[in-house]
A = this chain, B = another copy of it.
Amino acid sequence: MIQSVAFIGLGAMGYRMASHLPKHFDTVYVWNRNFDKAKQHAIEYGTQAVELSQAVQADVIFSCLPTSADVEALIETLNIKSGAIWVDCTSGVPTSAQKLAELLKIQNIDFLDAPVSGQTIGAETATLTVMIGGDTEAFERALPAVQAFGKLIKHVGASGAGFAVKAVNNMLMAVNLCAATEGLSTLKAHGVNLNEALDCINASSGKSNATETILPQRVMNRTFPLSFALPLLAKDTGIAVDLVRQAKLSAPIIGLTQSLIQVANDTAESNSDFSSVVKMYETWSKITIE
């Protein structure tokens, strides 16, 4: 029975995810490196802004940080309560999850990798998808806490499996976006109206989230709003190719897409949204996707 929960890392996602916890639990600790944000969260949602050392005395401790390296650095310094479950919602590295799970097991602490998808809107409306790797018993114990912000919650495998699914998902998104950009550039070069073409594709077998959502809402309206930074996509697609290498598989399209995302990231302006990968193609072809 979960008595207390904590949320570490109140970024764009974490701030909103943590906002749902007080509806289900009496004791909700929050902590953030910039501590003012934690204090503001406490005022806004009735959570408790506490020292990190106190936060990790909760039964379930959520974290949502930029990278696995950040999570590792943090955990190293902490005395976490024995019997606690650490639920890491970072889009992290599978091997890091395995390492942390092993390390914390010795201290009688469970570690679940539990990355989320659904963007800030999903965090706000508590409709995130959560893909979880780790021990089955820990998954079941943590479930009621995860349900505070998650709608589709899946136990996808052992430690690292959650991170793996997230990395592959983001890789598929990157592939689909690059391919759609290539395809639409080609059509425009041949005088085709892109809005009409996209309508047809979105009613046909070639549709994807890239053609249905990303291109219309971020690219063709020329907004490229910064909500998921390109360097983070490059990190995630990098995790996916590392998974391919570790399994000694041949995944040519995944490999090539990583090369393209890498170039996009290396040549993009700072603070670019992931959708800016389209701009790389536009620089090459002098064809604007609009």
Query: What is the size, in residues, of chain A's interface with B at 8 Å between Cβ atoms?
Result: 85
How far does the alpha carbon of A266 sit from the alpha carbon of B185 in the complex, in Å? 14
Instruction: Find residues 146-191 in chain A having any chain B CB closer than 8 Å to their own CB.
Output: 151-152, 154-158, 160-161, 164-165, 168-173, 175-176, 178-180, 182-187, 189-191
Assess whether A32 is interfacial by the CB under 8 Å rule.
no
Residues in B with CB closer than 8 Å to A255 are 252, 255-256, 258-259
Assess whether A24 is interfacial by the CB under 8 Å rule.
no
Q: Which of B156, B189, B196, B260 contacts A155 (CB 8 A)?
A: B196
A60 to chain B, nearest CB (A): 21
Find out whether the CB atom of A284 lies under 8 angstroms from the CB atom of B267. yes
Find out whether the CB atom of A267 lies under 8 angstroms from the CB atom of B283. yes
Query: Which residue of chain B has the shortest Cβ distance to A175 in the bound complex?
Result: B179
Query: Which residue of chain B has the shortest Cβ distance to A267 in the bound complex?
Result: B284
Given the contacts A209-B208, A245-B245, A247-B186, A199 and B253 also touching, CB distance less than 8 Å:
no
How far does the alpha carbon of A184 sit from the alpha carbon of B214 in the complex, in Å? 22
Q: Which of B168, B203, B256 contacts A187 (CB 8 A)?
A: B168
Interface flags for A41-67 (1: CB within 8 Å of B; 0: not) read: 000000000000000000000000000
How far does the alpha carbon of A132 sit from the alpha carbon of B50 in the complex, in Å? 54
Interface flags for A220-253 (1: CB within 8 Å of B; 0: not) read: 0000000000000000001011111111111111
Assess whether A144 is interfacial by the CB under 8 Å rule.
no
Assess whether A129 is interfacial by the CB under 8 Å rule.
yes
Interface flags for A188-209 (1: CB within 8 Å of B; 0: not) read: 0111110011011101111111
How far does the alpha carbon of A65 sit from the alpha carbon of B196 in the complex, in Å? 25
A131 to chain B, nearest CB (A): 4
Given the contacts A168-B187, A169-B201, A192-B165, A248 and B238 also touching, CB distance less than 8 Å:
yes
Q: Which of B118, B250, B251, B253 contacts A175 (CB 8 A)?
A: B253
Instruction: Find residues 41-95 in chain A having any chain B CB closer than 8 Å to their own CB.
Output: 94
How far does the alpha carbon of A94 sit from the alpha carbon of B257 in the complex, in Å? 26
Find out whether the CB atom of A168 lies under 8 angstroms from the CB atom of B154. no
How far does the alpha carbon of A245 sit from the alpha carbon of B160 in the complex, in Å? 20
Given the contacts A168-B186, A175-B179, A205-B170, A263 and B241 also touching, CB distance less than 8 Å:
no
Find out whether the CB atom of B94 lies under 8 angstroms from the CB atom of A190. yes
A55 to chain B, nearest CB (A): 28
Residues in B with CB closer than 8 Å to A276 are none
Given the contacts A169-B200, A172-B208, A206-B173, A243 and B155 also touching, CB distance less than 8 Å:
no
Find out whether the CB atom of A190 lies under 8 angstroms from the CB atom of B157. yes
- 9 residue pairs from A and B, CB less than 8 Å apart: A158-B191, A160-B190, A165-B200, A179-B253, A205-B214, A250-B259, A250-B263, A252-B252, A266-B286
